[in-house]
Structure 1
Amino acid sequence: MNDYSNPWKVLAEKKIYDNPWIKLNEYDVINPSGGKGIYGKVFFKNLAIGALPLDEELNTYLVGQYRFTIDQYSWEIPEGGGAFGVEPVESAKRELLEETGLVAEEWSQLIELHLSNSVTDEHALIFLARKLSQQMAHPEETEQLIIKKLPFEEAYQMVERGEITDGMSVAAILKVKLMLADGRIS
């Protein structure tokens, strides 16, 4: 029989940092082995939202941008934050339109993830967007984006070659590859 109860004991909690997007707390803890220590936890104030657009010819769209946090250029599916209390698919629709100018008639949840769960509570929902039409993109002022339309298979090969490293993008592309392979989508 497995015991799935929480083996951690929190002795004290201290707020370290807080801004509109994240907060950081430090905890004095007794770890599962009985040793005293500290643990830091980053709390996210939004859901991580992604949308993988896939048109009728099995093309997809990637967003390229320089990521401040990793100090390098990154190719990704359209993604961003979704406010708690807003339907996640509505946030995905907003992100897709904002970053690519695309509007989709069909939406389905593709995958749910916890991102870097060793130090954060960040929770991600990624959607598959189908039946696409093009409108005008409206990126945020913090985004300098390049949009790339390409065959989905090419995006998959970019994952295979290590050219796409964003966790949400990798997970979404691999999931769609499996769904195409077993006929769940065509």
Structure 2
Amino acid sequence: MSDFRRVSSRVVYENRWMAVREDEFERPDGSRGVYGVVDKPDFALVIPFENDGFHLVEEYRYPVGRRAWNFPQGSLPDRAAGAPEELARRELAEETGLRAGTLTRLGTLHASHGTSNQHVHVFLATDLTPGEPSREPEEQDMRQAFVSRDEFRKLVREGVIADDSTVAAYTLLLLHEEGLAR
């Protein structure tokens, strides 16, 4: 906030997954405003890739009121911080049972920079070994499926895959592959 100066801050709500704070700030011209910020821990998103396709997970997403397909992703319980690579390995194994022989960092994105300070650390998982998932209680309705790359693109075009982090991570994968092809 180099151009904006925080004058005050107060937490207006919190639970084990997030906190919402209200900041009063001063603009460069001296006028003041209020901003609501959702404080959430960073999360990891993993693209499990093999045989020119992806392993996806689907679960009910309460805020949007529907089931949604996406790449495995998540954060540590109780807003804890952790090393992104360790978190990626944990989420992949927890949600899919897969273990990655190779984990390649593709980049870091802002998850929702207009409302939150959360980042998503994106990884490509290859050399996959199957295992049993170990899902959290909130993930008890989670399903898993393998889709070809063509099917993935079709699901994005049709709006079946509408998770912004999943679509953005796919873009990072394409840029990574483009760099390898040079």
- Look up the match of 1:108: 104
Aligned partners of 2:179, 2:14: CA distance in 1, in Å?
46
1:70-85 alignment, distance < 5 Å: 70-82=64-76, 83-84=80-81
1:10-49 alignment, distance < 5 Å: 10-44=6-40, 46-49=41-44
**Aligned partners of 1:53 and 1:130 also within 8 Å:** yes
Aligned partners of 1:33, 1:115: CA distance in 2, in Å?
29
Q: Flag the 1:153–1:184 CA change in 2: closer, same or farther, 3 A.
A: farther
**Aligned partners of 2:42 and 2:119 also within 8 Å:** yes
Does 1:137 find its partner at 2:133? yes
2:122 to 114, 120, 126: 126
2:161 to 157, 161, 164: 164
State percent identity of aligned pairs. 29
**Aligned partners of 1:155 and 1:173 also within 8 Å:** no
How many residues of Structure 1 are paired with residues of Structure 2 in the alignment? 177
* Bigger fraction of residues in helix: 2
- Look up the match of 1:58: 52
Q: CA deviation at 1:99?
A: 0.7
Does 1:92 find its partner at 2:88? yes
- Look up the match of 1:153: 150
Give ranges in structure 1 of 5+ residues lacking alignment. Answer: none
Alignment RMSD: 1.8
